[in-house]
Amino acid sequence: MRNRPIGVFDSGIGGLTVVRALMEALPQEQIVYFGDTARVPYGVKSSATVAGYAAQITDFLLKRDVKMLVVACNTMAAVALNVIVDMSPVPVINVLDAGAAAAARASRNGRVGVLATLTTVHSGAYVRALECYRQDLAIVSQACPLFVPLVEEGWVDHPVTTLTAREYLTPMLAAEVDTIVLGCTHYPLLRPVLARLAGDEVALVDSASTTAAQVGAMLRASDLACTQARVPRHEFHVTDFPQRFRAVGELCLGRPLPDVHLVHW
């Protein structure tokens, strides 16, 4: 059981921001990644649709004998976590909870901005999770439906992205937030642009490193941590355009990717 892989999934390449943190924190763990590149973006779709997709991916990864599932997609965590948890005999960690915990800890003035997909913002899941960790927060949420297509296109530092980000950030900066949570796993790839616009006084919090820490803690607590000193063979599965995923994915991960497999459902 300890030598089995960890299943990590997202609608596209965004979950690679979590994979990167996992590879750094837990280098001996094998990862099986699933990116639903044929159906991305999820964040503008209904909860019922996203829940159906999440169930399909969970089934795919469980059939690969994973020892843990990491929901590296805030949108699925926001609207489909119960579906995933109900199906899973193995522990489930999700980025939304990790992101909320990190943001609640980071804020000094109690004003927190949430950048997330439309579906995540409409679900209210971030506000609920933040309020679980801290009751004194004033929260400003902003749906950013244009960010995911820009990232999937590889336009992570482009004038169009800067203009779009300025539009999305203006209301929360006017509300004087001191912490902004990047509530979608695609958004850390826009960190340079967002940091430039938000300025040094505003902390940008993403859930990748907190999620990796939670995964490590859960593996140890459940006696599932791999104890072999090994260089794991990671697997990447996508539902469309594997070559494109590989090219953009290598930029995100900062390392070469092995073959990316095309999934035929």
**Catalytic positions, please?**
73, 184
Long-range contact set of residues 163-168: C-beta below 8 Å, sequence gap at least 24: 165/190, 165/193, 165/194, 165/197, 166/197, 168/115, 168/142, 168/144
The encoded tokens of residue 249 equal 């994915």
Alpha-carbon span 18 to 167, nearest angstrom: 27
Q: Show contacts with ligand DGL in window 142-161 (CB under 6 A).
A: 148
Out of 16, 22, 31, 73, which residue is the one contacting ligand DGL (CB under 6 A)?
73
> 143, 153, 97: which is closest to 117 by C-alpha?
143
Out of 37, 58, 120, 239, which residue is the one contacting ligand DGL (CB under 6 A)?
120
Q: For residue 196, what are the CA distances in angstroms to 106, 204, 215?
A: 19, 11, 31
CB of 136 to ligand DGL, least distance (A): 26
Out of 21, 40, 93, 257, which residue is the one contacting ligand DGL (CB under 6 A)?
40
CB of 141 to ligand DGL, least distance (A): 13
Q: Which stretch binds ligand DGL (CB under 6 A): 68-76, 101-109, 170-178, 241-249?
A: 68-76
The encoded tokens of residue 192 equal 């340079």
Q: For residue 42, what are the CA distances in angstroms to 56, 93, 144, 200?
A: 14, 19, 12, 31
Q: Show contacts with ligand DGL in window 176-235 (CB under 6 A).
A: 184-186
Rule CB under 6 A: say whether 11 interacts with ligand DGL.
Answer: yes
Rule CB under 6 A: say whether 252 interacts with ligand DGL.
Answer: no
The encoded tokens of residue 5 equal 């892989």
**Nearest residue to ligand DGL, by Cβ distance, number only:** 43
Residue ranges binding ligand DGL (CB under 6 A): 10-12, 14, 40-43, 73-75, 117, 120, 148, 184-186
